[in-house]
Amino acid sequence: MKPYSAKYYLACVSFFLLARQFSIFYGYDMDASLLTIAELAKRYGLPESTARFYCKRFRDYLPHVGAGKRRRYRAEAVEVFDFILAEMQSRKNASAVEASLAAKFPRYTEYSEVSEHTETTPLAPVGLDPHAMASLLRVQGKALQDIASALGRFTDRDEELTSLRQDLADKDAAISQLRLEMENLRRLQDEAERIHQQDLEQLRKWLAHLAQEQAKDSP
């Protein structure tokens, strides 16, 4: 059997990395064990809104990949989700449940995993056998998956910041509108006072004139 060339292995690596990037970016991961929020809700017989709340509230403890609507939860997240449901039934307090999670499970930090894989992933030597290449591809795919998760976390933070900025902009607009209305009220008040003073002055003149006329008519 003719041995594979180094170019063949390099082409395999390039194709696999591109495929992983495509699948992660568009939310189609090659790992069939990944779960969506809808699948978690169906698994536990929960309303999808409730499952979404748990996933968002306790996201730091649920292993996942991707971001936003493309986020998928790993098989390890099932154990954490079981614990969350049990704690919510007994404690009925999200803060207390989070404290219990912190005592039992580590926080899911993609950054440390990315660093670990980045530092330990070796370069593929020329003449590497197919089994070693397959193992290397799996490691590199996992590293890319973790990088995508880290980028997803940054994306979530950016979305939250954008939302806060929009809230501030809306409040600034409301304050500006209120100031404008107050300024209009001040103008109306000033105009009303000016007209009132004019009316009083006219009344004084009329009374003075009336008094003079009465004085002339009196014997």
Can you spell out the DSSP letters for the chain?
Answer: -PPPPHHHHHHHHHHHHHHHHHHHHTT--S-TT-B-HHHHHHHHT--HHHHHHHHHHTGGGS-EES-GGG-EE-TTHHHHHHHHHHHHHHH--HHHHHHHHHHHS----HHHHHHHHHHHPPPPPTT--HHHHHHHHHHHHHHHHHHHHHHHHHHHHHHHHHHHHHHHHHHHHHHHHHHHHHHHHHHHHHHHHHHHHHHHHHHHHHHHHHHHHHHHH--
Per-residue pLDDT of the chain (219 residues; tens, 9 = 90+): 445 554 455 555 555 555 555 454 444 444 567 999 999 999 999 999 999 999 999 999 999 998 888 899 999 999 999 999 999 988 778 899 999 999 999 988 654 344 444 444 444 444 445 666 676 777 777 788 778 777 777 777 878 888 888 888 888 888 988 888 888 888 888 888 889 899 889 988 898 888 888 887 776
pTM over 0.85: no
Residue with tokens 């979530």: 156
Total residue count of the chain as it appears in this document? 219
Listed residue (138, 142, 160, 162) closest to 150, CA to CA = 142
- pLDDT score, position 43: 92
Domain boundaries, the chain: 6-168
Q: Cα(145)–Cα(65) distance, rounded to whole angstroms?
A: 7
Q: Cα(143)–Cα(219) distance, rounded to whole angstroms?
A: 116
End-to-end Cα distance, the chain: 145
Q: Cα(148)–Cα(23) distance, rounded to whole angstroms?
A: 11
Residue with tokens 């030597």: 125
- pLDDT score, position 19: 56
The answer to whether the beta carbons of residues 111 and 152 sit under 8 Å apart is: no
- pLDDT score, position 215: 80
The answer to whether the beta carbons of residues 97 and 58 sit under 8 Å apart is: yes
Q: Cα(59)–Cα(79) distance, rounded to whole angstroms?
A: 14
Q: Dig out the tokens for 26 from the structure.
A: 């568009």
